[in-house]
């Protein structure tokens, strides 16, 4: 993926501007990244721009915009489905009010996410939760599926989530629980902060093998520039996958990439981490002041001074390979070529 939330909103706004009569009636909602029929996209709903616009179009706004997360030229306006139920709408068309009157009167509800099923029908996915300790430590109990066109509401428990629903666990719940785990790693009486850790500054929603994950780095308490590992958490089941490795945090990698192109003044997007021929690598688009992608950057997690940039992904990867060849004495894939055996004594397993 090369299109972030901000760029997706800009591309959707440009698409909306192609229909002048529509732009005066609606405004764009919050983009949501999701996997639809195997394609990674951002979906942006259209909201009423005011009370009188709602009053004259009570059947709903005319659809949504789909922006490819991998191709800036692939933007589609879909008008086959009305968006009648909306957040911050009016009277019974308001999403929270509609939910309260259709089964969620006494439930905790949070995290309104706009998602499409495999046919393109839009839904609002709203997480239901309960607090496990008084008024604290919220835990997801399921989701409410609200048909954005008809208003039909269905509640699904954690064991009955439809396959097309990508996000159940709110990001704030996951980050809070990771930080609690790091804060109380040795219990509450750990005044020396031994082995404490926390999430790094920022997280990303990524997809791997068709599943949606929250991905974030882990850093020691008081250490802002180095990561001690990375964690992927399934956004439906909350199953974690931990990668223990030392290296740079996401922010450090962004600064390193920006430093290589400082004469151009490009800003780096929040990176995702890739396995590039066995080398843990940050990847990020580089954007100009107008928010347009101008170059791409690869940054080594282990040694964030190893940076490769280029105007295309292929050119950036070639540059990255050359930098690794100079800094580490071997290019990407060199250690994987041919069959070989190595003998020796393992000195440490951790």
pTM of the model: 0.84
Render pLDDT for 41-67 as a digit per residue (tens, 0 to 9): 999 999 998 898 888 888 899 999 999
> What gap in Å lies between CA 249 and CA 202, rounded to an integer?
10
> What gap in Å lies between CA 129 and CA 85, rounded to an integer?
22
Residue whose tokens read 């609690």 = 180
Closest-CA residue to 111 (of 180, 201, 30): 30
> What gap in Å lies between CA 147 and CA 1, rounded to an integer?
28
| Non-local CB neighbours of 180 within 8 Å, separated by 6+ positions | 137
Render pLDDT for 166-218 as a digit per residue (tens, 0 to 9): 999 999 999 999 999 999 988 988 888 888 889 988 888 999 888 999 999 89
What are the start-end ranges of the H helices in 148-249? 171-183
pLDDT at 338 over 80: no
Q: Measured in Å, how far apart are the chain's first and last C-alpha atoms?
A: 32
Q: Are 125 and 143 in contact (CB under 8 A)?
A: yes
Render pLDDT for 9-24 as a digit per residue (tens, 0 to 9): 999 999 988 887 777 7
Please report the pLDDT score of residue 335 as a whole number: 47
> What gap in Å lies between CA 230 and CA 197, rounded to an integer?
11
Please report the pLDDT score of residue 342 as a whole number: 79
DSSP code string of 278-322: TEEEEEEEEE-TTS-EEEEEEEESS-TT-EEEESSHHHHHHHHHH
Q: What is the mean pLDDT of the chain?
A: 89
* Lowest-confidence segment of 64-78, 140-154, 237-251, 335-349 by average pLDDT: 335-349
Average pLDDT (301-326) is 91
Please report the pLDDT score of residue 191 as a whole number: 81
Average pLDDT (66-82) is 92
> What gap in Å lies between CA 33 and CA 28, rounded to an integer?
15
Cβ-in-10-Å burial (0-12, 13-18, 19+) of 179 comes to middle
Q: How big is the chain by its Cα radius of gyration, in Å?
A: 23
What does residue 241 show for φ and ψ, rounded to 5 degrees? -125, 120
Closest-CA residue to 117 (of 171, 154, 142, 70): 154
Q: How far is CA 112 from CA 239, 246, 335, in A?
A: 22, 35, 46
Q: Give the 3-state secondary structure of residue 121.
A: coil
């Amino acid at each position: 993926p090369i299109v972030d939330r901000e760029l997706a909103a800009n591309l959707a706004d440009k698409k909306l501007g192609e229909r002048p009569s529509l732009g005066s009636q609606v405004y764009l909602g919050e983009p949501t990244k999701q996997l639809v029929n195997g394609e990674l996209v951002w979906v942006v709903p259209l909201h009423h721009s005011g009370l009188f616009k709602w009053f004259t179009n009570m059947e709903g706004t005319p659809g949504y915009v789909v922006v490819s997360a991998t191709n800036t030229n692939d933007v589609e306006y879909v008008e086959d489905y009305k968006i009648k139920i909306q957040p911050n709408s009016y009277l019974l068309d308001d999403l929270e009010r509609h939910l309260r009157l259709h089964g969620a009167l006494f439930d905790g509800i949070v995290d309104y996410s706009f998602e499409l099923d495999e046919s393109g029908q839009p839904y609002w996915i709203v997480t239901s939760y309960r607090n496990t300790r008084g008024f604290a430590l919220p835990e997801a109990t399921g989701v409410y599926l609200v048909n954005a066109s008809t208003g039909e509401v269905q509640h699904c428990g954690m064991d009955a989530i439809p396959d097309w629903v990508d996000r159940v666990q709110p990001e704030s719940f996951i980050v809070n629980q990771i930080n609690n785990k790091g804060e109380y790693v040795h219990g509450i009486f750990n005044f020396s902060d031994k082995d404490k850790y926390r999430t790094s500054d920022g997280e990303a929603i990524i997809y791997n093998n068709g599943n949606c994950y929250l991905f974030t780095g882990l850093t020691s308490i008081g250490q802002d520039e180095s990561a001690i590992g990375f964690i992927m958490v399934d956004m439906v089941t909350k199953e974690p996958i931990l990668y223990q490795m030392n290296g740079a945090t996401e922010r450090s990698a962004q600064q390193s990439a920006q430093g290589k192109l400082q004469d151009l003044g490009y800003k780096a997007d929040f990176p995702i981490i890739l396995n590039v021929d066995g080398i843990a690598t940050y990847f990020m688009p580089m954007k100009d002041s107008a928010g347009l992608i101008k170059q791409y950057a690869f940054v080594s997690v282990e040694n964030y001074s190893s940076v490769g940039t280029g105007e295309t992904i292929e050119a950036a990867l070639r540059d990255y390979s050359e930098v690794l060849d100079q800094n580490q004495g071997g290019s990407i894939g060199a250690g994987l070529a041919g069959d070989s055996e190595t003998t020796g004594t393992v000195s440490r397993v951790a």
